[in-house]
Amino acid sequence: MSISQNIELARESAIGREGVSDTALSGALKRSEAALDWLRARHADGGLRLLQLPAERADIASVQDAAKRLKAGATDIVFLGTGGSSLGGQTLAQLAGYAVPGVGSLRDGPRIHFMDNLDPASFGALLEKLPLATSRFVAISKSGGTGETLMQTMAALSACKAGGLQSKIGELFLGLSEPVKGGKRNALRDLLEPEGVAFLEHDTGVGGRFSGLTNVGLLPAAILGLDIVALREGAANALAPVLANKPAREVPSALGASLSIALAESKGKTISAVMAYADKLEKFAKWYVQLWAESLGKDGKGTTPIAALGPVDQHSQLQLFIAGPRDKLFTVLTTGVAGKGPKIDAELAKRAHEADFGGKTIGDLVAAQGRATAETLAKNGCPVRTFHLDTIDETSLGELLMHFMLETIIAAHLLGVDAFDQPAVEEGKILAKKYLAG
């Protein structure tokens, strides 16, 4: 295991009445045994594809090949897709420097653009400024029918055609969507295949928000030079305790889910705030928000996820976190940054009235801040669980993603909701299409 979870600062015995009682936690852990049995059964019968992914290697070569083809001669690679068709990829890409606050644009290699939000100004500017002949477009949609992705793809196609690149569309574009089956139409395929665009197949058994470790997330990761097998190996580390038939309290994902739901049910902690102390985990927190929200928010149930980044959000949300309503469970993620980064000159530190900064590294301060935030929250009666990753690499990130996917599935069992659908978002989509047509 390359990550460790600690829930001690979320217990009533440690922080007082706002913490989880032993009785409530034990009750939820007991109920989560059924979820673990279900996961083990689905792993054995292959009924939940997500659980096969950690051991899957058959698709690695096709992802590597596609990455190599896309990268050849490319100045820019544009990912078209939204929600789960983008966030997993962004999370992995950030490990290789994509969109790391402040320094993402300094990365070597092709520029990477994830156009996950639809905005006419951004997309218009992108198409105007991109060197289209050396750009590649990857259109990702499990269903093939998401309006935002179709709009982006059509606009990009038209721009390339207008730029005299009609004969090159097959080289410039790649699609990633479910295969057509049962006569069901797939709009993305209908749009791109007649132009000679090849497709990678979206795993039919893995929903968008759970697809970060399929080719949806692994393709951008491979383009950015990450070790995609190590991502899967990391995921196996999170799955191993589930499969090892351990009791729920020894399975980190079951313990996390039980803590969360026990605190929601017994102490009204209806908000789950994740605060990561690493720029490279900023997208991870956004990915978590979609995963938790779309999987659990059903039938009047669910808890509301919040993403925060440390230390910067100490200067933004922390006041509310510590002194606002007592409705949150905090998850603080720290990494082994002590001793890392630029070292501070002692003389300069004195002149800045911070003599104690002298001889310390930036990582020393960030490590101290992560620890201090968790302890301050706890001292103020706010339940906190901590995660520590010594290194943020492919193995630990793969483990982290799988941990949270398992935790979400187990939490859904505890709440009695279906983790894998999202019926409520369909209503707005239908109405938006009606307004557009009218």
Binding site for ligand F6P (CB under 6 A): 82-85, 141-143, 146, 149, 208-209, 294, 422, 425
Q: Are strands 76-80 and 3-6 parallel, antiparallel or unpaired?
A: unpaired
Q: Is 315 a catalytic residue?
A: yes
The distance of closest approach from Cβ of residue 211 to ligand F6P in the complex, given in angstroms and rounded to an integer, is 8
From the candidates 315, 353, 427, 434, give the one annotated as an active-site residue: 315
| Nearest residue (CB) to ligand F6P, 116 versus 407 | 116
Residues 6+ apart with CB under 8 A from 40: 242, 243, 245
325: number of CA atoms within 13 Å, CB side?
9
Q: What dihedral do alpha carbons 364, 369, 372, 373 form, nearest 10°?
A: -160
From the candidates 30, 68, 184, 429, give the one annotated as an active-site residue: 429
The distance of closest approach from Cβ of residue 196 to ligand F6P in the complex, given in angstroms and rounded to an integer, is 22
Q: Is 429 a catalytic residue?
A: yes
Helix pair angle (228-243, 215-223), 10° resolution? 140
The distance of closest approach from Cβ of residue 384 to ligand F6P in the complex, given in angstroms and rounded to an integer, is 30
From the candidates 294, 394, 399, 407, give the one annotated as an active-site residue: 294
The distance of closest approach from Cβ of residue 189 to ligand F6P in the complex, given in angstroms and rounded to an integer, is 12
The rounded distance, in Å, linking the Cα atoms of 223 and 64 is 8
Locate the DSSP E strands across 57-183.
76-80, 111-115, 135-140, 173-177
| Nearest residue (CB) to ligand F6P, 178 versus 313 | 178
Phi/psi for 133 (5° steps) reads -65, -25
Q: Is 403 a catalytic residue?
A: no
The distance of closest approach from Cβ of residue 66 to ligand F6P in the complex, given in angstroms and rounded to an integer, is 17
The amino acid present at 273, given as its one-letter code, is: A
Cβ neighbours of 65 (radius 10 Å): 12
- What b-and-e string marks burial along 355-365, b requiring 16 or more CB atoms within 10 Å of the CB? eebeebbebbb
| Nearest residue (CB) to ligand F6P, 50 versus 377 | 50
| Nearest residue (CB) to ligand F6P, 320 versus 432 | 432
- Catalytic positions: 294, 315, 429
